[in-house]
Amino acid sequence: MKKYRSFFTITAAVVCFGCATVPLTGRKQLSLVGDSQVNQSAAASYSQLLSDPKTKVISNSADAQRVKRVGNQLAVAIEKYLADNGYAGKYNFKWEFNLIQSNQVNAWCMPGGKVAVYSGILPITQDDAGLATVMGHEIGHAIARHSAERISQQLATQAGGAVVGAATSNQSDATQTIVNQLYGVGGNLALLHYSRSQESEADRLGLTFMAMAGYDPHNAVAFWQRMAAQSKGGSTPAFLSTHPTDQTRINDIQAHLPEAMKYYHP
């Protein structure tokens, strides 16, 4: 019975209390935490990571400049889309784009627009369009508020059968604790693993975002094919740890290409 009470509590929260809408996809999601809290906590973790002596941030190279350039092009296009579609003021991203020296095939974007690209993924991105595919996908997670959604789900679950108000009481402390659990602090960054449905949503958003920024979204198919070959050649990269199967992802991307192409202006 307790399990069912918890289920109905979370359902009621979605319907009656904390509900947000994901841009572009229109999906409704549970939202029990404020963006400012999550963004501040994520920014602190990001800053600690970059300042950790074990983290080597690459700043004076062509690759580092490309990460910043492609990232800024995506950011400008995304900000314009949000402003033009009624989301002005609902996002307060303070964008940062950094290249980190690491053999890991990985990249990520924290809430609030804090992006890191690991140098190990650059041989697979190959060019600006490949990099835009990766960064657009990771930024998609942030725009869709997937981290806040996961935090909200944990808060609601912790509340058990209690009223929704219990999930948000002492929200600041609870949010800080969960953010630290999801992302970690300092150099030992423990990245959040998203669900497969969230990964698919980020694929769709990222495809459209790269098109908005002037990158042909058809290039995303070639990138994911290269990633698929990488995963078959050895251990699965962290970038693919909870993602849909390679062929499912490629099929879904191809299905979303017509939507993305509406936003593509070279």
Residues annotated as catalytic are 138
Q: Which residues on adjacent β-strands are paired with residue 77? A: none
- Which residue type does 134 have? V
Tell me if residue 265 falls in helix, strand or coil: coil
Residue the block writes with tokens 């300042």:
51
In terms of DSSP bridges, do strands 114-118 and 107-110 run parallel, antiparallel, or are they unpaired? antiparallel
* 214 φ/ψ sector (left φ>0, alpha ψ -120 to 50, else beta): left
Q: Which residues on adjacent β-strands are paired with residue 100? A: 57, 118
- Which residue type does 173 have? D
Q: How many CB atoms lie within 10 A of CB 45?
A: 22
Round to the nearest angstrom and report the end-to-end CA distance of the chain.
57
Q: CA nearest 223: which of 147, 122, 153, 154?
A: 122
Q: How many CB atoms lie within 10 A of CB 102?
A: 16
